[in-house]
């Protein structure tokens, strides 16, 4: 008897972590997703330059780091596009004056309610699923992947679409 192929997985939603899905991802980690290297911008980078680099690389998220390479936050390119379309961010000569710092989303500082949850290349995909299930309630559709050391260097960004692509290639 031939097994039916798994149902298609939407790149914008995290599927339910069923027993079948657990079996398909058993032993797999973020490293197995074969993510492209992260591209980071500094807060003083001109926004138009950061957007151009994101478009060239077809990235939806850019991490923002300090000169010391400390993770400060991120740019969500779809969110910025929406704000440009709505006029919330000026799409005129004033756009050229904006820096990444003016529109970036900052990660929560220590002592505040929501903590940054570390995802590393060694993080199992089951934990990544759990991250997306919990963070999805807060609207996050990506996770920053760090090197797992005390320096916390950014090595990549993983999205729900990356996870869906991996699952579509993984036999059931």
Does residue 6 belong to any structural domain of this protein?
no
In this prediction, residue 37 carries a pLDDT of 86
Which three-class secondary structure state does DSSP give residue 74? strand
Cβ–Cβ < 8 Å for 40, 64: yes
* DSSP code, position 170: S
pTM, entire model: 0.76
Does residue 45 belong to any structural domain of this protein?
yes
Does residue 157 belong to any structural domain of this protein?
yes
Tokens read off for 151: 């320096």
Q: Which residue has the tokens 């149902």?
A: 7
β-sheet bridge partners, residue 31: none
The residues, ordered by sequence, that sit 6+ positions from 133 with a Cβ below 8 Å of its Cβ are 14, 17
In this prediction, residue 160 carries a pLDDT of 85
Does residue 154 belong to any structural domain of this protein?
yes
The yes-or-no verdict on residue 30 having pLDDT over 90 is yes
Q: Which domain range does residue 115 map to?
A: 19-169
In tens, the pLDDT along 60-105 reads 899 999 888 888 889 999 999 999 999 999 888 888 999 999 999 8
In this prediction, residue 137 carries a pLDDT of 56
Does residue 5 belong to any structural domain of this protein?
no
Cβ–Cβ < 8 Å for 35, 166: no
Does residue 78 belong to any structural domain of this protein?
yes
Does residue 84 belong to any structural domain of this protein?
yes
- Residue 96: CA atoms inside 13 Å, Cβ hemisphere, count? 2
Q: What's the mean per-residue pLDDT of the chain?
A: 81
Domain count, the chain: 1
Cβ–Cβ < 8 Å for 50, 62: yes
Residue with the larger pLDDT of the pair 51 and 141: 51
Q: Other C-beta atoms within 10 Å of 137: how many?
A: 8
In tens, the pLDDT along 113-151 reads 445 678 999 999 989 988 888 765 555 678 899 988 877
Residue 11 — pLDDT band, cuts 50, 70, 90?
A: very low
Query: Across the beta sheet with 40-41, what order do the strands follow?
Result: 40-41, 61-65, 71-76, 105-106
Q: Domain with 135 in it: what CATH number?
A: 3.10.580.10
């Amino acid at each position: 008897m031939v097994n039916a192929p798994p149902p298609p997985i939407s790149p914008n939603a995290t599927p339910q972590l069923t027993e079948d899905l657990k079996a398909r991802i058993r032993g797999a980690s973020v490293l197995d997703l074969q993510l492209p290297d992260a591209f980071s911008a500094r807060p003083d980078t001109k926004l138009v330059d950061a957007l151009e680099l994101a478009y060239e690389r077809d990235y939806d998220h850019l991490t923002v780091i300090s000169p010391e390479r400390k993770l400060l936050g991120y740019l969500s390119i779809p969110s910025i596009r929406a704000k440009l379309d709505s006029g919330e961010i000026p799409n005129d000569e004033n756009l050229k004056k904006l820096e990444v710092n003016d529109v970036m989303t900052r990660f929560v500082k220590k002592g505040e309610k929501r903590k940054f949850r570390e995802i590393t290349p060694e993080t199992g995909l089951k934990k990544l699923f759990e991250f997306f299930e919990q963070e999805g309630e807060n609207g996050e559709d990506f996770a920053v992947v760090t090197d797992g050391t005390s320096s916390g260097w950014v090595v990549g960004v993983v999205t729900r679409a990356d996870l869906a692509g991996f699952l579509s290639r993984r036999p059931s």
